[in-house]
Structure 1
Amino acid sequence: MTSTHFGRFLLEAMTTDRVSESGLTADELYGLYTSWCLLNRLQPEPPQELWVALRTEQIEPGNNNLAMSGPAATDYILASTPDLV
């Protein structure tokens, strides 16, 4: 994953403005990432690559205070709860 690719994902799909008590799970982070890639017509990297990139930014995949934001959040939520559609 290029640093530009990852930097855009962080800026466009996650926020710390709405601090979550539990943060995002690793599954939620990867789901959000794949939704973001789909919307941006990019090939998602494997989960291990995302974990390395997150840790480079001092974000722990299973222990963080991140919240979803933007169109990728909407796409992920709708895709993961098909009964809402």
Structure 2
Amino acid sequence: MMTSHFQQFLREATIRDPGAAGDLLGPDSFYGLYISWCLLHGITPVPDTDFRAGMRRCGIDIHHSGLAMTGPAAADYIVASHPDVS
């Protein structure tokens, strides 16, 4: 079975954190992380509505995912979101 780029994104840029209190990635930061991941991989990001549909197909509720950011896309997203950090 072919792996979708959404599945690859989830594998490379997110990590499950069952011990965390609350939701770690909200819808806006989830999409922002996805955009950073796409830019690092030379992939054109899909619009937000398509991203949300893709996450649903992967079994992810972007409002209550239990996922945290990880990897190079996380660093890119954080720097892009908070330029005063760099």
TM-score of the alignment, normalized to the shorter chain, above 0.5: yes
Cα separation, 2, equivalents of 1:51 and 1:28:
12
SS in 1 for 2:4: helix
Partner of 1:54: 55
Aligned-pair distance for 1:25?
A: 0.5
SS in 1 for 2:42: coil
Partner of 1:16: 16
Q: Is the 8 A contact 1:25 1:61 kept in 2?
A: yes
- Check 1:19–1:81 CA distance in 2 against 1; reply closer, same or farther (3 A cut): farther
Cα separation, 2, equivalents of 1:34 and 1:25:
14
Between 34-43 and 57-66, report the one with greater CA deviation.
57-66
Q: RMSD across aligned C-alpha pairs, in angstroms?
A: 1.7
TM-score for both structures, normalised by structure 1: 0.89
Aligned-pair distance for 1:23?
A: 2.2
Q: Deviations over 1:36-83 (max 9, x none)?
A: 000001000001111111111221111221100110000000110111
Aligned-pair distance for 1:17?
A: 4.2
Partner of 1:28: 29
Runs of 4 or more, structure 1, over 2 Å off, are 17-21
Cα separation, 1, equivalents of 2:25 and 2:81:
14
Task: Structure 1: state its 5+ residue gaps.
Answer: none
Q: Which amino acid aligns with 1:6?
A: F
Q: Which amino acid aligns with 1:35?
A: S
